[in-house]
Chains A and B, each alone.
Chain A
Amino acid sequence: MHAINYESPNTVADAVKLLAAHGEQARPLCGGTDLIIQLRAGVRRPSYVVDVKNIQEMRRIEFSMQQGLRLGAAVPCIEIYENSDMRKYYPGLTEAAHLIGSLQIQSRASVGGNLCNGSPAADTTPALIALGAKCRVIGPGGERIVAVEDFCTAPGRTVLQPGELLVEFHIPAPARNSSDAYLRFIPRNEMDIAVVGVGAAVTLDPSDDRISAARIGLGAVGPTPIFAREAAQALVGKRISDETIERAAQLAIAATSPIDDMRGTAEFRRHVTGVLTRRVLAKAIERARAAQTSR
């Protein structure tokens, strides 16, 4: 690995100051499960690495039914699935965090880092998109809010400008009759990169078994994670039925632009997008029905 300088600020303001001072030469470090590999391979060559794990604001999980969730960008995956609010109110995002790598990786890797790495196959990103998560970004020019679906611009690239830091995610409190789910396809049971990943969140109208709101996020089927807007929209106001779900699955497939690679062909990815969309919607609906009685 080339020589680097290491800084470990305790506040967002200090981190932004360091990142802004060194511009393109600086890179935030969180769990390091992507960055340290990239440094070693020479894929990224920053001269300054700014460790953000000692910034308390970026390490918190704060949830209330009034305010919703503030999830620090530097919270490691293991702390997400150890958190009872996360498991209860955001099971889809929780299972996505739980799918990433081994325990060794989950002890370090964060949802914020997963997004900032900019991989189209990031497991937590479709789950965040499904939940309507917003990113709080702070830079030398102040603060801005970016929807997760607008965050990635190309493989490995994001909207973050030099000096900007992803500090936390804001996620709305779940409605009484809502829930989420995430499923991915890999050719084995554990420890692989998604061939396709689909996240969904649904809100039900309990009076007549209709879907009153829905969001679907797709991973590994385009150059960036995808918000399948039309697919989700097709569910709204519809009674839950096989036809309704099939229609959403077809629209989800239409939203993809997959490639052939060693993990699967474009044709296979389109097919699996349909299969997973059906399954993940069924799972989210089942959980939302259960939430009606348990919350």
Chain B
Amino acid sequence: MAKKVVVEANINGEPIEFLCEPRQSLLEVLRDVLELTGSKEGCLTGDCGACTVIVNGRPLCSCLMLGVEAQGKTIQTVEGLAAPDRLHVLQQKFLEHASLQCGICTPGFLMSAKALLDRNPKPTEAEIRYALAGNLCRCTGYDKIVRAVADAAQTLASGQQPAGHLGSGPSATEQTERFLQEQEVK
């Protein structure tokens, strides 16, 4: 067995130091070492998105990243979404729109949606669907999820409800969407 490595990262706003084997994925580290079991293991091949977390502002599959790669990174997981006394607006809207049944895909959808809204606070339906294309749901279907994200965006834009306690990042998705729109125009 290869020697364990010390890794320092910021997870959900807290500087954290953990020990892991180089062969362990970030998902294994989150779940088995740090006991953050919100991120789910689905396909382990980057197809289903159940393990989506946000690393340095980008959504990615934590099953396709090694834990040792987290050194110096800022990571957000579903555990960091809600404030101690209230749900994140995305979580609230998922409940209101009944956007989940079994719930396995939900943490991944929430993190992809958060990455989208951080970068593009007023997404169109097409933009929402594009941003969620890397997340699979096999029970509810996508319509209610898309509606929840659109509603969350609207609520945030109207300033009725604060987002939660994690701050917003800079915009990559915004530029993605702009690129897509340019392509459509052409």
Contacts and interface: CB of A to CB of B under 8 A. Distances in A.
Interface of A: 1-6, 8, 29, 31-33, 36-37, 39-40, 49, 51, 53, 78, 81-82, 87, 94-95, 98, 101-105, 107-108, 190-191, 286-287
A105 B134 contact: yes
B50 to A, nearest CB: 11
A32 B2 contact: no
Instruction: Give the size category of B's interface with A.
Output: 35 or more
The 6 closest A-B pairs by CB, nearest first: A102-B134, A6-B22, A107-B58, A104-B134, A1-B23, A3-B2
B99 interface: no
Contact of A51 (B69, B179, B182): B69
Contacts of B186: 286-287
B133 interface: yes
B64 A78 contact: no
Interface string B126-145: 00001101110000000000
Contact of A103 (B5, B134, B183): B134
Interface of B: 1-2, 5, 21-25, 44-46, 49, 52, 55, 58-61, 63-66, 68-69, 71, 112, 115, 130-131, 133-135, 172-173, 175-176, 179-180, 182-183, 186
Contacts of B173: 103
A104 B175 contact: no
9 contacts: A6-B5, A6-B68, A8-B69, A32-B65, A36-B63, A37-B45, A53-B69, A103-B133, A104-B112
Contact of B59 (A82, A107, A286): A107
A103 B112 contact: yes
Contacts of A39: 23
